[in-house]
Amino acid sequence: MSSDAVAAFRKSVWNNYEKNGRHELPWRKTKDPYRVLVSEVMLQQTQVSRVMEKYKEFLKAFPIVRTLAKAPLADVLRVWSGLGYNRRAKYLHDAAKKIVKVGTIKKTLEGSLSGVGPYTRAAVRVFAFNKPDVLIETNIRTAFINHFFPSKKTVADKELLPLIKKAAEGQDSKEWHWALMDYGAYLKRLGVRNNHRSAHYVKQSKFENSLRQIRGTILRELQKGSRTENAMRSDLIASRGKLKNALAGLARDGIIVKEKGKWRIV
């Protein structure tokens, strides 16, 4: 790809950021790596509009990493309720415990951390420490596919990486990635729909009567106290098979445990 094409792309990204940038997002007003980590975990598979208030509520309850580490998991899940994918709350809780043990988030991220994958790790480096890194997520894919692969049927991330690295050269890492994400979001508002052309696109399954919905309902019930499987089944509109699968999945994730015939949050 020519330098002129990359320069033109940069200009479009920065122009949009100036006019339509989401500068009001609360996690963009902090350099605290803990707060950045919270926002990044919340934003996984969840729309910005749903995260906005929950982010503020979560930080009011757990303002520093040590507060989160010391909190019972049940309290963390109660505050998290409504965001879905509750294992993220468990991962974040576990991460807080490890961070407190290691000493700093920066040092902790140098090792393995449950639920914190390559993207989240890189995002904390970029947004908390303004370090150069490569971020690929849905809005960034939208921006690059729209400009550089307007007609190609399937685009792999390995094709985007050289362009992403080239476009980032000489840019302020944090501001550039904010601008990129905002540009992708802006294109989507204009009607651009190209994520299905990414080789890494996975269509989200229906929520209604899904295991995700049942898991969330189970956790809300267990926040009231321990329950037997039969007691929960009488309250849930779910088959015995789905209920068993949901319970087994929550147990595998280390969120619930069965004792003396009753399930409870760990």
Residue 75: give its domain's CATH number.
1.10.340.30
Task: Tell whether 202 is covered by a domain.
Answer: no
Judge whether 156 lies within some domain: yes
Which residues span the domain enclosing 95? 31-129
Active-site residue, selected from the candidate residues 24, 40, 221, 229: 40
Clarify whether residues 41 and 93 are in a common domain: yes
Co-location of 220 and 258 in the same domain: yes
**Contact (Cβ atoms closer than 8 angstroms) between residue 255 and residue 73:** yes
pLDDT value for 14: 98
Note whether 263 and 257 are within 8 A (CB): yes
The length of the chain in residues reads 266
Q: How many Å apart are CA 181 and CA 42, to the nearest integer?
A: 16
Of the three residues 129, 162, 185, the one that is the final residue of a domain is 129
Q: Are residues 53 and 125 in the same domain?
A: yes
* 73 shares a domain with 115: yes
141-170 residues labelled b (16+ CB within 10 A) or e (exposed): bbbbbbbbbeeeeebeeeebeebbeebbee
How close are the terminal C-alpha atoms of the chain, in Å?
53
Under a CB-based contact definition with an 8 Å cutoff, are residues 124 and 40 in contact? yes
Residue 235 phi/psi, 5-degree rounding, is: -95, -15
Last-in-domain residue among 129, 161, 176? 129
Return all residues near 148 (Cβ < 8 A) that are at least 6 apart.
Answer: 1, 5, 9, 160, 163
State which amino acid sits at residue 243: L
Over its length of 266 residues, how does the chain's per-residue pLDDT go in tens digits?
678 899 999 999 999 999 999 999 999 999 999 999 999 999 998 999 999 999 999 999 999 999 999 999 999 999 998 888 899 999 999 999 999 999 999 999 988 887 889 999 999 999 999 999 999 999 999 999 999 999 999 999 999 999 999 999 999 999 999 999 999 999 999 999 998 899 888 777 676 667 888 888 899 889 889 999 888 877 675 677 888 899 999 999 999 999 999 999 98
117 and 165 in a single domain? The answer is: no
pTM beyond 0.75, yes or no: yes
* Separation between Cα atoms, residue 38 and residue 42, nearest integer Å: 6
Q: What is the pLDDT of residue 235?
A: 67
Decide if 40 is catalytic: yes
In the block, tokens 């639920």 appear at 115
Tell which residue, 3, 12, 2, has the closest CA to residue 146.
Answer: 12
Helix (H, G, I), strand (E, B) or coil at 8: helix
Residues 86/229/214/255 CA torsion (nearest 10 deg) = 10
Residues 95 and 125 reside in one and the same domain: yes
Whether 62 and 144 map to the same domain: the answer is no
Report pLDDT for 247. Answer: 92
Counting the structural domains of the chain, the total is 3
Distance CA 140, CA 239 (A): 40
Residues 113, 236 within the same domain:
no
Task: Please tell me the predicted confidence (pLDDT) of residue 210.
Answer: 77
CA distances from 264 to 152, 174, 229, 259 (A): 50, 42, 11, 8
Among 28, 44, 45, residue whose Cα is nearest residue 36: 28
Please report whether residue 239 resides in a domain.
yes
